[in-house]
């Protein structure tokens, strides 16, 4: 499950804010967490596509339309048992219900991957987010021993390990279906599968907690961003909060769409590496998490990609009229470095321009 502890999933800055509040006990949103405006785009209702991996909705034609127009969908028929999802939610809530001083014993170090901490993108924003997180890369045993020093940590560890193993299989199926939906030639498909086969995928598990907020209109659970991954598969509890940004299209201007909880479903989010691999055809989806006044929402993200130092090269025709590659080849490790420095401008930094095509010998 661990991509590379020296390069991948590092915080964007070693000076990550260290203000940890017991959010569930706060009665008024403090200035540190008060966001000036959350209505940059209207929030509307639109039915989010559902793909049944066990049914006809998994056809490549349907999936291509969904990936091109949404960059996200809910997936059912994935084979993950409901009892495992229930245990996953239970263990996630058990972790975040611990006292703050206990959680901080398993704090993520400034130069590390795993452990408890604030959202990694916090350093790009002047306000803090109404959430807390716990990242698992590899075995969670060391941290679990710190969280529950007087109890057997195996219950937590076993659930996280079982879920990660199951999710790797689902992620492999989803990525392969996405590639098949592009209509690639046999040679292009062979290239696309290098580094993206199920036995090659690497990942981390990100547990998220969004406690009830006394004034949801002034707080942000997780600010808008795209994931650096190939795909992220998200489990969310029965409280809504995830919102997708739909780009301006024939149906209207850019708008936020809330993804309603669907029992047993997972949410697939296209990441930046998928946009690179598909030559810009399947774009990564910007998303955010809003908070709720009365309910404590939790989610678990399985963030996966190729081996960290494997260079992904675009395949297929570019989404733009240009006849050549839209992006330079890049490894996940190198791209994470760009994302940590440039955030939402990272993708643009590796786009191939007319000048760079000649300089770098890039052509069709």
Q: In angstroms, what CA-CA distances link 138 with 81, 85, 203, 208?
A: 22, 20, 9, 18
184-215 confidence digits (pLDDT tens): 999 999 999 999 999 999 999 999 999 999 99
Pick 70 or 60 by higher pLDDT. 70
Residue 170's alpha-carbon distances to 61, 252, 259, 263, in angstroms, are 20, 33, 20, 17
What integer pLDDT is reported at residue 12 of this predicted model? Answer: 57
Q: Tell me the H-state helices in 105-153.
A: 141-147
Structure tokens given for 84: 């495992």
Give CA–CA dist 45/259, Å, rounded.
Answer: 9
Query: Taking residues 5-33, what's their average pLDDT?
Result: 68
Cα 143 to Cα 106: distance, rounded to the nearest angstrom? 5
Entry pTM: 0.92
The beta-carbon contacts of 253-258 under 8 Å, at least 24 apart in sequence, are 253/41, 253/42, 254/41, 255/41, 255/42, 255/43, 255/44, 256/41, 256/42, 256/43, 256/44, 256/288, 257/43, 257/44, 257/45, 257/46, 257/48, 258/43, 258/45, 258/290
3-state secondary structure 336-354: HHHHHHHHHHHHHHCECCH
36-56: average pLDDT: 90
User: Which CA distances in Å does 76 have to 52, 68, 268?
Assistant: 5, 20, 10
The catalytic site residues sit at 297
List, in sequence order, every beta strand (DSSP E) within 181-253: 202-210, 222-225, 231-236, 242-246
pLDDT at 20: 83
By CB neighbour count within 10 A (0-12 exposed, 13-18 middle, 19+ buried), where does 190 fall? exposed
Mean pLDDT along residues 133-150: 95
Neighbours of 167 (CB within 10 A): 25
Reported confidence tier of residue 354, pLDDT bands at 50, 70, 90:
low
The mean pLDDT of 72-90, rounded to a whole number, is 97
Rounded CA-CA distance 332/346 in Å is 12
Nearest alpha carbon to residue 207 among 114, 291, 301: 301
Question: How many CA atoms are closer than 13 Å to the CA of 200, on its beta-carbon side?
Answer: 17
Closest listed residue to residue 289, CA positions, set 180, 133, 163, 143: 133
Least confident of 83-97, 106-120, 144-158: 106-120
Instruction: Please report the pLDDT score of residue 68 as a whole number.
Output: 95
């Amino acid at each position: 499950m661990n991509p590379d502890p020296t390069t991948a999933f590092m915080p964007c800055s070693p000076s990550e804010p260290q203000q940890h509040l017991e959010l569930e006990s706060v009665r008024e949103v403090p200035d540190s967490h008060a966001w000036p405006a959350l209505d940059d785009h209207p929030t509307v209702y639109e039915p989010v596509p559902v793909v049944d991996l066990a049914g006809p909705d998994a056809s490549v034609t349907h999936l291509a339309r969904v990936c091109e127009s949404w960059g996200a969908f809910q997936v059912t028929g994935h084979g993950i048992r409901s009892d495992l999802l229930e245990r996953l939610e239970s263990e996630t809530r058990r972790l975040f219900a611990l006292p703050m001083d206990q959680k901080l014993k398993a704090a993520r170090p400034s130069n590390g991957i795993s452990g408890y901490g604030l959202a990694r993108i916090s350093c790009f924003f002047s306000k803090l987010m109404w959430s807390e997180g716990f990242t698992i890369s590899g075995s969670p045993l060391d941290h679990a021993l710190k969280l529950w020093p007087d109890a057997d940590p195996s219950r937590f560890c076993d659930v996280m390990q079982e879920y990660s193993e199951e999710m790797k299989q689902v992620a492999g199926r989803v990525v392969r279906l996405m590639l098949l939906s592009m209509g690639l030639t046999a040679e292009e498909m062979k290239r696309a599968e290098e580094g993206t086969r199920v036995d090659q995928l690497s990942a981390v598990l990100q547990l998220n907690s969004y406690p009830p907020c006394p004034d949801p209109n002034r707080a942000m659970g997780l600010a808008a961003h795209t994931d650096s991954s190939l795909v992220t598969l998200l489990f969310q509890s029965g409280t809504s909060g995830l919102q997708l940004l739909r780009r301006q299209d024939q149906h209207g201007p850019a708008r936020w769409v809330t993804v309603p909880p669907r029992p047993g479903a997972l949410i697939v989010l296209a990441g930046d590496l998928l946009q690179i691999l598909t030559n810009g055809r399947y774009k990564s989806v910007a998303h955010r998490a809003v908070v709720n006044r009365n309910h404590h929402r939790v989610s678990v993200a399985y963030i996966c990609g190729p081996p960290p130092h494997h260079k992904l090269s675009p395949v297929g025709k570019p989404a733009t009229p240009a006849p050549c590659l839209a992006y330079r080849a890049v490894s996940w490790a190198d791209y994470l470095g760009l994302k940590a420095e440039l955030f939402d401008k990272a993708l643009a930094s590796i786009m191939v321009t007319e000048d760079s095509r000649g300089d770098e010998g890039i052509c069709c």
